[in-house]
Amino acid sequence: MQRQALAGERTWQLVTSLVTEVGPRFAGTPGDAQSIAWAERALREAGFDRVWTEPVTVPRWIRGTATAEILAPHARRLEVVALGGSGSTPPGGIEAEVVEVFDVEALEALPEGALAGRIAFLSRPMEQRADWTGYGEAVPIRSRGPAVAARKGALATLIRSVAIGPDRFPHTGATRWEEGTSPAPTAALAVPDAELLHRQLAAGAPVRMRLVIENEHAGEAVSANVIGEFRGRERPGEVVLLVAHRDSWDIAPGAQDNGTGVATMIEAARLAATASRQGPRRTLRVLLTANEEFGLSGARAYAAAHAAETGSIVLATESDQGGGRAHGLLVNFAAEDAAASGELAALLAPLGVALRSGEAGGGADLSPLAPLGVPLVDLDLERARYFEVHHTINDTLERVVPADLRQATAAWATVAWWGAQRAERLRSRPPQPQ
Ligand SMILES: [Zn+2]
């Protein structure tokens, strides 16, 4: 099966088809609807026994324009993109002085009203590291920063893109507002533009800027989770769950985020299901969720709709890290199954995947299921260049490396096959209080 995956083209063909025939598929858009039909077709063509959709209500946010221009010390247009959930400037835009604040902690430390009448600029850079911590430490300037800046009186917030690399395009992403507040205008600057602004402010002269940001909060829309399964021949009620989000950002073709994840999970399940002539012992289920990017709507809807069967999930795993090679394995098994990690690690070793210390957490879409005690497997992917294109217009097929995709497919097919074929099921862990 691993050899077949390493020689196979199907994952590449699937991601190519998705970005070519559908492209951007942000929650509630026509692209979202097209990607539902695409996913149903892809699962049927891959031979899944059963394919169905489950409706998901998603928030509808429509991007308008976003422009940012430095007026003083000298006129210069900057590259910006509104964050998902951003509000709008008043008609005609705003002109105001810019105040640099490093991060959310520094924002929280400011007295109330400290930013009144100003534009806040959150400048914390993201560090490139081998794991997720660089992203995790920087991302609060996007997810929470604009809300805190608004509470301190800011008219609008600009953030440095949560990204790496010198490219001059901005990276979008979701921002959250505090209960009972109305969304403020907020946008991300391309990294070099954030650096420029930082240098100008560090030089001490006041920087004035003109911002025009217009978006629409348009209520709700109906999307869907798309689900396919290969039914287990001996224990159909025991399920190996492979998850990937189907949506992308509105500006992004979503090749790596998350076309590669969608394609990998479909092909990994197909390989695992067809590895033996009799079919899998347990059920292999692929869940392609609606709206991960703008609020985890699909993951929450799935957890609610399937709450009664959480105990039937014998293994859950998610792909949402781009199209890099798998190099690390993390698990979060019940204490009685601690030795099982060694079994899985031995199967993955030929692919260059090694067991890591620490516990699997699942991805964002597994966050509603993880506290319920579902056994989790994380594959850690190489992502040195992922955050150069994440949530941008440049998340295109050209940045996906076919050989890496084949290797990751082989690794996930191995995980799926092992979970489905193992003599004993993996046991659930005690649920964590939420
Ligand atoms: Zn993603």
- Helix then strand then coil, % of the chain, to nearest 5: 35, 25, 40
Residues with CB under 5 A from ligand 1 (ion): 257-258, 320
In a domain, 432, yes or no: no
Task: Tell me how far the alpha carbon of residue 387 lies from the centroid of ligand 1, in angstroms.
Answer: 11
Other beta carbons within 10 angstroms of residue 328's beta carbon come to 18
Instruction: Please tell me the predicted confidence (pLDDT) of residue 132.
Output: 81
Does 103 lie in the same domain as 18? no
Range with the lowest mean pLDDT among 93-97, 258-262, 324-328, 427-431? 427-431
Say which CATH number the domain at 356 has: 3.40.630.10
Burial status of residue 195 (CB atoms within 10 A of its CB: 0-12, 13-18, 19 or more): middle
The whole-number pLDDT of residue 130 equals 78
The rounded Å distance from CA 87 to ligand 1 centre is: 23
Boundary-marking domain end, from 215, 238, 266: 215
Q: Separation of 18 CA from ligand 1 center, angstroms?
A: 15
| Domain tally, the chain | 2
Arithmetic mean of pLDDT, 329-338: 95
Ligand 1 centroid to 245 CA: how many Å? 7
Same domain (yes/no): 174, 266: no
What is the whole-number distance in angstroms between the Cα of residue 320 and the centre of ligand 1? Answer: 5
Domain contains 308 = yes
> Which pLDDT tens digit goes with each residue over 237-256?
999 999 999 999 999 999 99
Q: How many other C-beta atoms can be found within 10 angstroms of the C-beta atom of residue 348?
A: 24
User: Residue with structure tokens 């930013």?
Assistant: 115
For residue 376, pLDDT beyond 70: yes
* Bridge partner list, 62: 216
Question: Which of 162, 180, 215 marks a domain boundary?
Answer: 215
Distance (angstroms) between ligand 1 centre and the Cα of 111 equals: 35
- Measure 281 CA to ligand 1 centroid, in angstroms: 31
Asked whether the predicted pLDDT for residue 433 surpasses 80, the reply is no
pLDDT given at position 434: 65
Q: Which domain holds residue 16?
A: 2-58+220-421
Same domain, 89 and 194: yes
Instruction: Based on the fold, state whether residues 413 and 289 are members of the same structural domain.
Output: yes
- CA–centroid distance, 74 to ligand 1, in Å, is 38
Q: How far is the CA of 292 from the centre of ligand 1 (A)?
A: 7
**pLDDT tens figures, 166-198:** 999 999 999 999 888 899 999 999 999 999 999
Q: Provide the CB-side half-sphere exposure for 138 (13 A, CA).
A: 20
Ligand 1 centroid to 321 CA: how many Å?
A: 7
Answer yes or no: do 210 and 227 share one domain.
no
Measuring CA to CA, how many Å separate 91 from each of 95, 112, 219? 12, 27, 21
- 117-174: per-residue pLDDT in tens? 999 999 999 998 877 889 999 999 999 999 999 999 999 999 999 999 899 999 999 9
Is residue 428 assigned to a domain?
A: no
Average pLDDT over residues 29-47: 98
